[in-house]
């Protein structure tokens, strides 16, 4: 009886988790019905993106696991937490810059940072750096759009990321920050 | 190419640390792997959905359409459209820059290109549900809104400087 109850609960949970995925699958099906060629094209992109995702994500999640298990909260606080000052900002930039992968891959890393009490300001810096100041991407950008364009964009974005962190800090109140940090225990 | 080298480096770092972890404590390494797997499993359903949305988008929004919308000298309206296209699409890095290069060659201005690249990277409408799940609604909306507004500012600044710095 108890077993049964657990199973139905899981199914419901499963459906809830996969609802978004199921909806997108239905949309893909609709595209195939009305525009078969576009459907094929979409499938090509999906396979490509999925492969990219499977290529990029595993080491990131391994590093997240390693950080969670091995690195003490106190160490992270000292490096990037309250009172870490300029060193913390620099590290946040560094971690974001050397990383590879799309921005959404940075979210779970940010979560583990928050779990280790990295300062909110540095979390925003990290996300900003991950999204725009990536070294591998810079090389692509230089070859595609020119040296000047890429370098200029990088130079402008560094202060813009810091400004973003200040604005976010001002707009998101202490209570919200605490709530977001509290959530990290669930992940 | 550059991407593969960097990804390779991250793999190498992850593997080396994993080996060190294993040598130091098997128990803890097991915990590391369980943690890694759980974090992955946690977002997998949403990632699958996002990947399909990307596919649908690129099938419908092909380069020709993007070119029509923000190509040529499309002015401020073109900047606005470029920012919208950049915000709602999510392209893999390589594809993003080759699309941007295509747009540039087809006559789009630097401001439009810059706003497209900026919003592509910083603003994520498709990944908004994921961001809300990890952080919260307020955080996700504010971060995207600020990034959007600043992206337009950055684009105009780039256009302005490139206009002088010939």
pLDDT tens digit sequence for A85-104 = 999 999 999 999 887 778 88
- The predicted pLDDT at position A45 comes to 86
Q: Is the pLDDT of residue A1 over 60?
A: no
Query: Hey, which residues 135-174 in chain A have their CB within 8 Å of chain B?
Result: 135-137, 139-141, 143-145, 148-149, 152-153, 156-157, 160, 163-164, 167-168, 171-172
Q: Is the pLDDT of residue A30 over 50?
A: yes
Q: Is the pLDDT of residue B116 over 50?
A: yes
For an interface test with A, give the residue of B46, B82, B119, B122 to mutate (most A CBs within 10 A).
Answer: B122
Task: Kindly identify which residue of chain B lies nearest to residue A138, measuring between CA atoms.
Answer: B2
Q: How far apart are the first and last CA of chain A?
A: 30
Every domain of chain A and the residues it spans: 57-186
pLDDT tens digit sequence for B77-94 = 889 988 998 998 877 777
The confidence band for B162, taking pLDDT boundaries of 50, 70 and 90, is very high
For an interface test with A, give the residue of B51, B110, B115 to mutate (most A CBs within 10 A).
Answer: B51
The span from the CA of A179 to the CA of B118, in Å, is 29
Between A133 and A22, the more confident residue is A22
- The predicted pLDDT at position B158 comes to 95
- The SS3 call for residue B38 is helix
Nearest to B143 by CA among B117, B124, B116, B120: B124
Which has the minimum average pLDDT: A19-28, A38-47, B13-22, B60-69? B60-69
Q: Is the pLDDT of residue A165 over 80?
A: yes
Between B18 and B63, the more confident residue is B18
Q: Is the pLDDT of residue B74 over 70?
A: no
pLDDT tens digit sequence for A34-63 = 999 999 999 998 998 888 888 888 999 999
**Are B136 and A176 contacting, i.e. CB atoms less than 8 angstroms apart?**
yes
ipTM score of complex: 0.88
The confidence band for A31, taking pLDDT boundaries of 50, 70 and 90, is very high
């Amino acid at each position: 009886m108890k077993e049964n109850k657990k199973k139905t609960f899981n199914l419901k949970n499963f459906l809830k988790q996969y609802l978004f995925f199921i909806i997108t699958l239905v949309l893909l099906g609709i595209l195939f019905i009305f525009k078969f060629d576009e459907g094929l094209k979409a499938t090509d992109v999906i396979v490509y993106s999925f492969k990219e995702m499977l290529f990029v994500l595993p080491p990131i999640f391994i590093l997240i696991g390693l950080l969670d298990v091995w690195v003490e909260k106190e160490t992270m606080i000292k490096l990037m937490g309250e009172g870490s000052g300029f060193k913390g900002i620099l590290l946040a930039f560094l971690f974001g810059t050397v990383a590879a992968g799309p921005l959404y891959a940075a979210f779970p890393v940010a979560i583990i940072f928050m779990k280790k009490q990295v300062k909110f300001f540095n979390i925003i810096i990290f996300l900003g750096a991950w999204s725009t100041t990536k070294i591998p991407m810079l090389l692509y950008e230089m070859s595609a759009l020119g040296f000047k364009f890429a370098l200029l964009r990088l130079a402008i974005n560094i202060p813009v990321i810091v400004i973003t962190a200040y604005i976010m800090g001002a707009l998101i109140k202490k209570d919200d920050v605490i709530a977001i940090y509290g959530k990290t225990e669930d992940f | 190419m550059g991407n593969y080298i960097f990804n390779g480096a991250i793999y190498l770092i992850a593997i080396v640390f994993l080996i060190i972890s294993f040598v130091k404590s098997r128990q803890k390494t097991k915990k590391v792997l369980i943690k890694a797997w759980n974090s992955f499993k946690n977002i997998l359903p949403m990632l699958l959905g996002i990947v399909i949305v990307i596919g649908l988008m690129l099938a419908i929004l092909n380069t020709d359409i993007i070119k029509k919308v923000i190509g040529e000298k499309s002015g401020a309206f073109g900047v606005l459209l470029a920012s919208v296209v950049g915000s709602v699409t999510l392209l893999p890095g390589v594809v993003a820059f080759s699309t941007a290069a295509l747009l540039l060659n087809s006559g789009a201005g630097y401001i439009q290109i810059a706003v497209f690249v900026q919003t592509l990277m910083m603003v994520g409408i498709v990944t908004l549900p994921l961001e809300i799940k990890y952080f919260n609604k307020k955080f996700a909306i504010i971060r995207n809104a600020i990034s959007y507004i600043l992206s337009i500012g950055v684009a105009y600044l780039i256009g302005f400087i490139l206009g002088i710095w010939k």
